[in-house]
Amino acid sequence: MANSAPFMARPFSRVTAGFVDLFISICLLGLVVHFLDLNKFKVIASAGLVVYGFYHALCYSSFNGVTLGLRYMDMRLVSASSSTLLSARQAVLRAVFRPALLFLTGWAALDYAPPRSLAGESFPYTHHR
């Protein structure tokens, strides 16, 4: 299938760049976990989102819209409205949006637990003999 515009990256390139950035973020998270001695899953996962957002914000603003994964795949982010480089504000908003969305949706689900009244009781539809 032909690309809709010559300046848009192919899906395989985008996925590969994303995996490179994810690998770098996981390595940075490993350093953060080691140096801060984090040991709870929810704290580590939250730190992972912060590291991911910080890594992207730093790369987008320092390297003119390029993360290390995008640079490896020879891609660059540009503004959709003007086809110019992202402003610092756009770069930070883009970098923080995805981790914030994951935090708000995913971590709300992790806080759900069944009520204590059902913890030790069997469900009403099971029959005991």
Long-range contacts formed by 99-103: CB under 8 A, 24+ apart? 99/49, 99/50, 99/52, 99/53, 100/49, 100/53, 102/49, 103/46, 103/49
Taking a C-beta distance cutoff of 8 angstroms, is the pair 29, 20 a contact? no
- Given this model, what pLDDT does residue 28 score? 93
Which of 8-12, 14-18, 43-47 is predicted most confidently? 14-18
Q: What pTM did the predictor assign?
A: 0.69
pLDDT tens-digit map of 52-82: 889 988 888 888 888 999 899 888 887 777 7
- Given this model, what pLDDT does residue 89 score? 83
- Report the chain's mean pLDDT, rounded to a whole number: 77
Question: What six digits make up the tokens of 61?
Answer: 């603003």
Question: What six digits make up the tokens of 27?
Answer: 């390595």
Instruction: Give Cβ neighbours of residue 91 (< 8 Å, ≥ 6 apart).
Output: 57, 60, 61, 65, 77
Q: With bands split at pLDDT 50, 70 and 90, how would you rate the model's confidence at 106?
A: low
- Given this model, what pLDDT does residue 68 score? 92
The residue-averaged pLDDT of 40-44 equals 79
Question: What six digits make up the tokens of 33?
Answer: 């976990």
